Amino acid sequence: MSVWIEALCINCDMCVPECPNTAIFRGEHHYQVNADLCTECIGFYDKPACIEVCPLDCIQYLPAKSGPAAI
């Protein structure tokens, strides 16, 4: 489970200090989320803290993987 950041991100830095897992980092063009660290804030908050603070609503849930990968 993880969220991801769309290219609309303006690098405003508001989401970074909110992440309890330090999963957000500055990518080549905009901020990105390390999917190995993001827990969608479960255990910390009721909703993803980064989504709550992002002024552009450019952070989205990654679609959940469903079942085994197709061959």
3, 60 Cβ separation under 8 angstroms:
yes
Based on CB atoms, which residue is closest to ligand SF4, 45 or 71? 45
Contact mark string toward ligand SF4, 8..47, x via CB under 6 A: -xxxxxxx--xxxx-xx------x-x----xxxx------
1, 43 Cβ separation under 8 angstroms:
no
Q: Which of 58, 42, 45, 54 is closest to 13 using CA atoms?
A: 54
Residues that bind ligand SF4 (CB under 6 A): 3, 5, 9-15, 18-21, 23-24, 31, 33, 38-41, 48-50, 53-54, 56, 58-59
